[in-house]
Amino acid sequence: MVKFLYREFGRTGQKTMHYVIIGTSAAGMGVISKLSLLAPDAKITCISDEAAMPYNKCFLDDWLLQKIGIDRVYTRPQKFFTKHNIDLRLSSRVIKLEPEDKRITFFDGSTLNYDRLFIGTGTSPRDLKLVEAQDSLPLFYFHGLKHAADLINFINTNKARKTVVIGAGLSGLECADGLLSRGLEVSIVESNSQLLPSQVDWQGSQLILKYLQQRGGCLYADDRVTQLMNKSVILSSGATLEADLVVNAAGAQVNTKFARKAGLDMDGDYLCVDDNQQTSNPSIFAGGDCVKVRDIITGLRVPSSTWPDAMLQGVTAAHNMAGLPKRYPGALVLTSSAFFGVQCVTCGNVNNVPDGYNVRVTTGDDWYHKLIFDERNILRSFLLVGNTNGANRLKRAIQTGEPVG
């Protein structure tokens, strides 16, 4: 149950509530969009450590692919914040949280008090601590808008032709796809034995690999970049790859350092929240990539990094911050993506199949389907590569327990 201290909307005779939202990605924008409707008279402050207006990270790959212009990447223009009297503070990094005083401190030393706080600080690129020679290759990231802009600007300015992408997860493959579409030669280096190790099984990965190779890309699996040279990278296998630039897309780290120091309950690096998106402090809520939420299949707390789910967490938090109880229904971890001309939809864990579960696999020349059922013949997870028709029906079957034909 949400532990409300009071319910105030800034009406006559009542204290004007001050809501502070840290982070302007999916979860943060979910809070802001809903709070602007639920508490129109309240004071709302929105904080971002980035210089750019709020944007959708899911569209960065389409921008790199040149499918859309930069204007399509942004989610809310300045006029939205002006219309709702929202104080938007860009390039503002929070370094300290004092829950007992309901106060946050910024990097420049200034402070801000709140009545309700939402933490949606997301993730940042993981530093691989590579050995870099003098005048080594330029190293880029593919995580945020500035990263993508810097990458595109370097390619256009320097007429780069060869690149090495570190990491064959979702971000790595999306980046590789965009670079291939711009005419670059792309080599992907992955420390695991296959691409997309967290999303697909071996057979599914081999089909995606075939599409990558048809586009002219190559994969160095079970390998690592250990050193950056002037015009090449050195791998742990001893191989040397020529390159004009390197992109680090090998995972991310959760931005929760100030929350941990403030004494909030943590699950590893993730903030603990209940089904109201409330942390261990009754005035502080959180959502998005920095929290773990309840998986509707297993009941376990898991990260859920999809944009729609993070938005839902933000909307849920907004209701509860405003004193209007609402429960988050739980996460169904589903990823839908496309790269190298092939569609891929994965839902749940398709690699570690529990004993007693039944696996149904069907294949074609350019598609692969894997459905996993429990002992009661209820669908628990699935993977579709190539032909993704029926994904919504399968998702609904997991949510409802209805039989799959």
194 and 105 in a common domain: no
Torsion of CA 258, 263, 268, 272, to 10 degrees: -100
For residue 349, give the CATH number of its domain: 3.30.390.30
First-residue to last-residue Cα distance in the chain: 39
247 and 135 in a common domain: yes
Task: Classify residue 192 by its DSSP letter.
Answer: S
384 and 363 in a common domain: yes
349 and 314 in a common domain: no
Confidence (pLDDT) at 132: 73
237 and 265 in a common domain: no
CA 331, CA 293: separation in Å to the nearest integer?
Answer: 7
Residue 187 covered by a domain: yes
205 and 349 in a common domain: no
174 and 85 in a common domain: no
What would the pLDDT profile of 385-396 be if each residue is shown by its tens digit? 999 999 999 999
State pTM to two decimals: 0.92
246 and 140 in a common domain: yes
Residue 333 covered by a domain: no
305 and 293 in a common domain: yes
116 and 259 in a common domain: yes
Q: Which of 251, 271, 303 is the last residue of a domain?
A: 251
Q: Which of 218, 251, 284 is the last residue of a domain?
A: 251
What would the pLDDT profile of 336-374 be if each residue is shown by its tens digit? 999 999 999 999 889 989 999 999 999 998 999 999 999
194 and 267 in a common domain: no
Average pLDDT over residues 53-76: 94
Burial of 343 (0-12, 13-18, 19+ CB in 10 A): middle
Q: What is the residue range of 394's domain? A: 341-400
Residue 331 covered by a domain: no
Confidence (pLDDT) at 11: 43
Task: Classify residue 136 by its DSSP letter.
Answer: P
Ordered strands of the 18-22 beta sheet: 86-89, 43-47, 18-22, 116-119, 284-286
Confidence (pLDDT) at 10: 42
CA 75, CA 28: separation in Å to the nearest integer?
Answer: 12
Residue 12 covered by a domain: no
Confidence (pLDDT) at 133: 67
What would the pLDDT profile of 19-51 be if each residue is shown by its tens digit? 999 999 999 999 999 999 999 999 999 999 999
What would the pLDDT profile of 210-247 be if each residue is shown by its tens digit? 999 999 999 999 999 999 999 999 999 999 999 999 99
Residue 211 covered by a domain: yes
Residue 328 covered by a domain: no
Q: How many domains does the chain have?
A: 3
118 and 179 in a common domain: no
Residue 108 covered by a domain: yes
Q: Which of 251, 281, 310 is the last residue of a domain?
A: 251
For residue 50, give the CATH number of its domain: 3.50.50.60
pLDDT at 297 exceeding the cut of 70: yes
Residue 290 covered by a domain: yes
